[in-house]
Amino acid sequence: MFNKKHTDVCVIGAGPVGLVAAHALADQNIEFAQFDSADGCHTHSYALALLPESMELLDRLGVAEQILERSMKVPKVAIYHANDRKAELDYAQLNSGFPHLTVIRQCELEKILLQTLRAKGHKPHWHHRVRYMTENDHHVMVEVDRTIQGMTGYAYAHIDTQIDKILQYRANYVIGADGHRSAARRVTNIDFNETGAAKTYAVFEFKVDAELPNEMRIIVDDQGSHIFWPMPDNYCRFSFEVDVEDAPIETIDKEHCLVYKGKSAYPLLDEAHLAGFVSQHAQWFNGTAEEIRWRTLVHFERRMAESFGRNRIWLAGDAAHLTAPGGMLSMNIGMHEAYDLVERLSLDSDELRQSALANYSSDRIDEWSGLLDLDGLLQRESADPWIVAHKDSLAANLPASGDTRHALLEQVHLDDAMTA
Ligand X SMILES: Cc1cc2nc3c(=O)[nH]c(=O)nc-3n(C[C@H](O)[C@H](O)[C@H](O)COP(=O)(O)OP(=O)(O)OC[C@H]3O[C@@H](n4cnc5c(N)ncnc54)[C@H](O)[C@@H]3O)c2cc1C
- Angstrom CA distances, 340 to 130, 172, 322, 362, 384, stand at 23, 17, 19, 13, 36
Q: At what angle do helices 329-345 and 52-60 cross, to 10 degrees?
A: 40
| Choices 32-40, 215-223, 303-311, 389-397; region in contact with ligand X by CB under 6 A | 32-40
64 binds ligand X (CB under 6 A): no
Interface with ligand X, residue 177, by CB under 6 A: yes
Query: Do the beta carbons of residue 394 and residue 45 sit within 8 Å?
Result: no
Quick one: 103 or 407, whose CB is closer to ligand X? Answer: 103
Q: Does 176 bind ligand X (CB under 6 A)?
A: no
- Residue of 10, 18, 109, 289 that binds ligand X (CB under 6 A): 18
Span interacting with ligand X, options 113-121, 171-179, 268-276, 345-353, rule CB under 6 A:
171-179
Q: Which is nearer to ligand X, 171 or 383 (CB)?
A: 171
Instruction: Fill in the per-residue mask, 136 to 155: x = in contact with ligand X (CB under 6 A), - = not in contact.
Output: --------------------
How many residues are listed for the chain in this entry? 420
Closest to ligand X by CB, 105 vs 344, is: 105
| Residue 96 makes contact with ligand X by CB under 6 A | no
Q: Which of 296, 361, 397, 401 binds ligand X (CB under 6 A)?
A: 296
225 is a contact residue toward ligand X (CB under 6 A): no
Nearest approach, Cβ of 10 to ligand X (angstroms)?
10
The CB-of-373 to ligand X minimum distance in angstroms stands at 17
By C-beta, is 203 or 383 nearer to ligand X? 203
Q: Judged by CB under 6 A, does residue 340 bind ligand X?
A: no
Question: Minimum distance from CB of 69 to ligand X (Å)?
Answer: 22
Among 130, 274, 342, 407, binds ligand X (CB under 6 A): 130
Q: How many chain residues are in contact with ligand X, going by CB under 6 A?
A: 33
For residue 375, the minimal CB distance to ligand X (Å) is 22
104 is an interface residue for ligand X by CB under 6 A: no
| Residue 313 contacts ligand X per CB under 6 A | no
Binder of ligand X out of 17, 79, 142, 409 (CB under 6 A): 17
Q: Is 47 in the site for ligand X (CB under 6 A)?
A: yes
Shortest Cβ distance from residue 420 to ligand X (Å)?
A: 25
Given candidates 10, 23, 35, 345, which one binds ligand X under the rule CB under 6 A? 35
Q: Does 402 bind ligand X (CB under 6 A)?
A: no
Which of the stretches 9-17, 89-97, 157-165, 378-386 binds ligand X when contact is defined by CB under 6 A?
A: 9-17
Q: By CB under 6 A, tell whether 125 contacts ligand X.
A: no
Minimum distance from CB of 226 to ligand X (Å)? 12
- CB of residue 228 vs ligand X: minimum separation in angstroms? 12
Burial, 155: exposed, middle or buried (Cβ in 10 Å; 0-12, 13-18, 19+)?
A: exposed
What radius of gyration do the chain's Cα atoms show? 22
- Mind spelling out the 3-state secondary structure of the chain? CEEEEEEEEEEECCCHHHHHHHHHHHHCCCCEEEECCCCCCCCCCCCCEECHHHHHHHHHCCCHHHHHHCCEEECEEEEEECCEEEEEEEHHHCCCCCCCEEECCHHHHHHHHHHHHHHCCCCCECCEEEEEEEECCCCEEEEEEEEEEEEECCCCCEEEEEEEEEEEEEEEEEEECCCCCCHHHHHCCCCEEEEEEEEEEEEEEEEECCCCCCCEEEEEECCEEEEEEEEHHHEEEEEEEECCCCCCCECCCCCCCCCCCCCCCCHHHCHHHHHHHHHHHCCCCCCCEEEEEEEEEEEEEEEEECCCEECCEEECHHHCEECCCCCCHHHHHHHHHHHHHHHHHCCCCHHHHHHHHHHHHHHHHHHHHHHCCCCCCCECCCCCHHHHHCHHHHHHHCCCCHHHHHHHHHHCCCECCCCC
Site for ligand X, rule CB under 6 A: 12-18, 35-38, 46-47, 106, 129-130, 177-179, 183, 239, 252-254, 296, 298, 317-318, 325, 328, 330-331, 334
